[in-house]
Each structure stands twice: as structure tokens, then as C-alpha cells.
A and B are shown apart, each in its own frame.
Chain A
């Protein structure tokens, strides 16, 4: 009897929750919906009614957007910059995180570096912004994708290493110790035995950083001044500045560029969610 009553109460209580969820979802989705429908509209249709669905699926905006924006080049730049950086971030931080987690207790230098990485997470980018510009200028690394890759990787190492340290501590040492005793070298032991065990955290680190580096603006706007070398975010910044009023075309061009990230997001969504909810709270 009591059980039954509780159950029906819960059922009833669900209704406002469902309504609330749907309302908030609508608010969150509205801008995306607007961008999509506008990308199919002609300027006349936009001026006529902003909320109405497009009368025809007009792909003219997409064709013109790709032509005028030169986004294809920037898309390529973003790919060239993001993926090698993420590969290096994952590899180098896994190695660094591994040695800090395993030897930090006995090795003062490693312990010290762990602290350095941690405290560097608090430094705002602005404090190194001007110096980065100066150093990269002197080394002729401004307007170079290689320079951009180095900067993005170096800037991300501290946080990624921090995430790996936490994870490695929870991985049992038995297997690698056995391998070491059997005469396996430390490097082979790491790459053949330990690294495969780090897959979950590596996936999280990779997913987070693809997202962050792809959307990076602060570093790119400082380092990439020439048009043909700009990554997507910076390109969009200047492109939107020039074509403030041609919304249909601008949205069409941006949506095409969003597609790779959105596909990536849907595929890696689980790792992003896990990573953020487990990694960040421990900070």
C-alpha cells in the first residue's frame, strides 16, 4: 500500500521535471536551430521573417560561403595544428605522468616538477602573451604552423600530465615490475605494458584537447597574423568582422566547419563526460 502510493507520487513528480528539461533544452538548442535555418535562407527571407523555416533548401549560401571565406584552407590549418599537437600531448604527458606517479616519492626533482606543473595551471595566459609574441618573433616562428604546434603542445602539457599522474597512481605496478625483473627495459615496459593500460585516460585527454585546441583563440590570434596561415577560429574572427550582415553565408560557412567537431564530439562524448567529471573535481 505504502509502496504503491510512493510510486505514484514519484510518477507525478516526474512531470514538472520533464517539462523543465524540455524547456531548458529548447533554450540551449534555440541558437543552434537559428543558425541552421538561417544558413538556408536568402537575405530577403531573413529580413522578412527571422523565425520562419526557409521556403526552399537553398544551398547557395553554402557554395558561396566556401568560395568567399577560404575556410577550406583554414580548416586544413586547424587540422594540421590540432592533431599532431594532441598526439604529442598524449604521448609526452603519459610519459611524464608515468614517471612522476611512479618515482615522485623517491625523486626530489620529479616531485618538484609535479609542483611546478600544478602551479603553472593557475597562471593566466595574459602573463605570457607578450613574451610569447616576442620570443616567437625573434625565432621567426610567428605565422608558422610548426610554431603554433609547439606552443599549443607546451601550453597543454601541464594539465594533461596532471591528469595522467592521477590515473597512473591507480594502475597496479605488478605487471611492469614483473617485466622489469624478467629483463625488459624500462622504455619497452612502458610502451608495451603500461601505455595500453592508460587507454581510458588517454582517450579523455585526447578528447578534451581536440576540443580545446580546435577552438583555441588566444594563442592563435597572437601567433598567426597572416591570412593563409590562420586557423579556423581566428579566420572566423576576421571573416565575421568583414561580413557582418551576410548572415546566411556566414552561418553556412561556419556550419560546414562545425561538422568535423560535432562528429568528433558525438563519437568521443563518453570520454569527455567521464574526463571532466572525474578529472576536474580532484583539482
Chain B
């Protein structure tokens, strides 16, 4: 009896001990900064000194009056729209292509499509910068798209698509593979054309994959940071400056960490709201089998 209780006790404690190391790390690098960040937003901390004053809601009021914030906001939305559409069209298209049974070729191609994912966003930006600047000028005699305020965002989106489409392709691919063959065959027997089958059978059954891919790609494009920073530093003339770059600049360039944190907080709330909205939109379209 005594031994039994001891064992239960040991087991009970072990439940927490197993969780502890991970939880400690997580608290230190996510939870504590998260709560700490909320309080920085109410200060005038410049990012350098150790002392600062509390300024109440001043930072949040300034966010709504900040003229310089408008362009980054519009740019981030442009990135999100172009990037989300491009990413999902290409990812789904390549997934459908790879899914066609062509033996070994599809397997090799799947690996090749995924290969750019190994490249860091910095290297991606550098390679494409080279393509835009040197290759395009030698082949078509045009100046780099990255220097053109109107084309800079689509040009960066293309680099990003090359770099990240592979992940969504795999998600769509596994979604397509999970569609029961009987359903497609039944539609075929009923005389549905290829497009009808795609529209009425494949697309609705892919809704779970859509909710993951669209939400992920959209929120990550809204947060676009590293590739753009390294390709153009937000230029030319702020034409590709995103929200994340603007927040980063407030910390490192303008020395307004407190203000930057206020923007970051509002931005995060916006991201979580829009992410949930899009996810629930696609969730409603999911069908039960």
C-alpha cells in the first residue's frame, strides 16, 4: 500500500518534470518578452539607455497620427495580396502536376521544387537581385525591377514565391493524395469533365489544405521582413518598406523602441484577427466525408 502511493506520487511529479525544461526555455524566450513588450509600449524607451519614463497611451495615440505609417501599411497589404494569390496558385498548380503519375520524374521534380526552400531568404534576395540587375539588363535591356517603385513589390514577391512555394506544394500534395479515388472515379462515370471534377470534387475536399496554406502564406507575407530588407532595404524611396521593416527601423534607426513596440502590438492584434478570420472562412467550406 505504502509503496503504491509512493509510486503514484512519483508519477504525479514526473508529469510536471517532463514539461519543465521546455516550459522554462519557452517562458524565457517567448512568455516573458511578450509581457515585457506590453509594458515597453507604454514607455518612451529609446532602445539604448537603461532608464525610461512611462508615457501612458501617448505611443498608441501617435500610431494613429503617424503619416509615415501609411505607406508601410499599404505595402504590406500589397505584398500579402500578391504573395498569397501567387503562392497558392503556383503551389496548387505544381502539386497537381506532380500528382500526375509519371513514375520517377514526379519524385525527382518534387525534390527540385522543394529545393529552394533550403536557401535562406538573404541568399534568395541576392541571387534574384543578380537576375534582375544583370540578367534582365543583358537579355532585355531593362533596368532592375528592384529600382522601380512600381515594380519593386511584384519583383520581391517573385523571389519569395521561388523561395517558399515548395512548402505549400507539399501540403496541397498530401491533401490531394488523401482524396478517395472512388469519388473522382464516380464523378468520371457520371460524365463530369476534368474541370467539373476539379471544381466540384477536388477543390471542396482540399478546403483543409486551403485553410492552412492561405492563412500561413498570408500572415507570413504580411510580416515580410528579411528578404525585402536585404533586397532593397525598403527602397527605392520607401516603395517596398513593410510594417516589419518599419518596426525594426524604430528600434535601430530612429531610436524609438517604445513607439515601435506600440506599433508591433497593434500590428500583432491585427494579424491574429485577420488570421482567424481567413482560417474560419475556409473552415466553413470544409466538407465532412
The residues of A with any CB-CB pair to B shorter than 8 Å are: 14, 17-18, 20-21, 24-25, 28-29, 31-32, 34-35, 38, 46, 49-51, 88, 91-93, 95-96, 98-100, 103, 107, 109-110, 113, 116-117, 120, 122-135, 138, 150-151, 153-155, 157-158, 161, 180, 185-187, 190, 211, 214-215, 217-218, 221, 232-234, 236-237, 240-241, 247, 250-251, 254, 258, 261-262, 265, 269, 272-273, 276-278, 280-281, 283
Contact = CB atoms under 8 A, between A and B. Distances in A.
Contacts of B15: 99, 103, 107, 110
B257 A134 contact: yes
B114 interface: yes
Contacts of A25: 109, 112-113
Given A154-B30, A217-B121, A272-B114, A99 B18 contact: yes
B13 to A, nearest CB: 9
Contacts of B209: 281
Given A25-B112, A88-B25, A150-B25, 17 more contacts: A21-B97, A29-B112, A51-B139, A92-B21, A95-B19, A99-B19, A130-B40, A130-B264, A133-B47, A134-B257, A135-B33, A186-B11, A214-B120, A237-B122, A240-B122, A273-B110, A283-B212
A240 B244 CA distance: 21
A128 B19 contact: no
B23 A187 contact: no
- Say what secondary structure dominates the interface of chain B: helix
B1 interface: no
A273 B110 CA distance: 9
Interface stretch (B77-85, B170-178, B179-187): B170-178
A261 B118 contact: yes
A32 B115 contact: yes
Contact of A127 (B37, B97, B230): B37
Interface of B: 7, 10-11, 14-19, 21-23, 25-34, 36-37, 40, 45, 47, 50, 94, 97-98, 100, 102, 105-106, 109-123, 125-128, 130-131, 134-135, 138-139, 162, 167, 170-171, 173-175, 208-209, 212, 216, 219, 223, 225-226, 229-230, 243-244, 247-248, 251, 257, 260-261, 264-265, 267-268, 271-272, 275
Given A126-B267, A155-B29, A161-B22, A24 B94 contact: yes
A48 to B, nearest CB: 9
Nearest to B101: A14
A110 B32 contact: no
Contacts of A131: 32-34, 36-37, 40, 261
B120 A236 contact: yes
Given A28-B112, A122-B272, A233 B122 contact: yes
Nearest to A153: B25
A31 B134 CA distance: 13
Contacts of B272: 122-123
Given A130-B257, A131-B36, A35 B127 contact: yes
Contacts, number: 259
A38 B17 CA distance: 54
Contacts of A138: 50
B80 to A, nearest CB: 13
B26 A281 contact: no
Sorted nearest first, the 9 A-B pairs with minimum C-beta distance are A154-B29, A277-B174, A131-B37, A99-B18, A92-B22, A131-B33, A186-B14, A154-B25, A96-B22
26 contacts: A20-B97, A21-B105, A28-B112, A34-B135, A92-B22, A122-B271, A122-B275, A126-B225, A126-B244, A126-B264, A127-B264, A128-B37, A130-B261, A131-B33, A131-B37, A132-B29, A134-B45, A135-B36, A151-B29, A157-B26, A158-B26, A186-B11, A250-B126, A261-B118, A277-B171, A281-B174
B131 A31 contact: yes
A273 B170 contact: yes
Contacts of A34: 127, 130-131, 135
A124 B267 contact: yes
A31 B162 contact: yes
A120 B97 contact: no
A281 B171 contact: yes
A86 B19 CA distance: 17
A14 to B, nearest CB: 6
A53 to B, nearest CB: 15
A96 B24 CA distance: 11
Contacts of A29: 112
Contacts of A14: 100, 102
Contacts of A31: 116, 127-128, 131, 162
A65 to B, nearest CB: 13
B272 to A, nearest CB: 5
Contacts of A24: 94, 97, 109, 113
B113 A28 contact: yes
A150 B27 CA distance: 11
Contacts of A49: 138
